[in-house]
Amino acid sequence: MKYLVALAFFAGLAAAQGPDDITIIETKTSALNISAGMNFGTINIDIFTPFSFCSIEDLGTEGNDFIIGAVDTFEDDELQGCANFTVPDKDISQLVLSHTGLDAWLPKYVRIYFGDGSSVECPDGEWIDNFQEHILECN
């Protein structure tokens, strides 16, 4: 029994998130254009630090994401390789959005939240469509 308790304790430590670990990614779709939302496309994200990177393919949930004016929140398994990814000093050198599919999207921003509750915002504001990439600066 003591062995099981110790094993559970150490498993919990391994899964614990640090203050610089990504916990949530939030996107905001612009409300400036009636066509800003996206129904038939996909968004991929690559987050680069000075030392490493993580990737998310086909960012989304089971719901209808990227609706005009909406804020969408992605966490846990939806973050794929970026779930609990450590960003030392929250220093994101760049965030790359890439698009596939038939439908353009007009993102206002991507915001990244960390284990200590702080966040960085990566403003956009430009249409993305037809296998384009946006390289965003985050602050």
- Confirm whether 47 is domain-assigned: yes
Q: 98: domain CATH number?
A: 2.60.60.20
Which value, to the nearest 10 degrees, does the dihedral of the CA atoms of residues 64, 70, 76, 80 take? 70
Contact between 105 and 99 (Cβ < 8 Å): yes
pLDDT at 96: 98
| Domain ranges, residue 124 | 17-136
pLDDT at 4: 37
- Confirm whether 56 is domain-assigned: yes
Domain count, the chain: 1
Contact between 49 and 91 (Cβ < 8 Å): yes
Q: 């612009």: which residue's tokens?
A: 30
pLDDT at 61: 83
Q: How far apart are CA 17 and CA 33, in angstroms?
A: 38
pLDDT at 9: 37
- Confirm whether 4 is domain-assigned: no
- Confirm whether 2 is domain-assigned: no
**In the chain, which residues have pLDDT < 50?**
1-14
- Confirm whether 116 is domain-assigned: yes
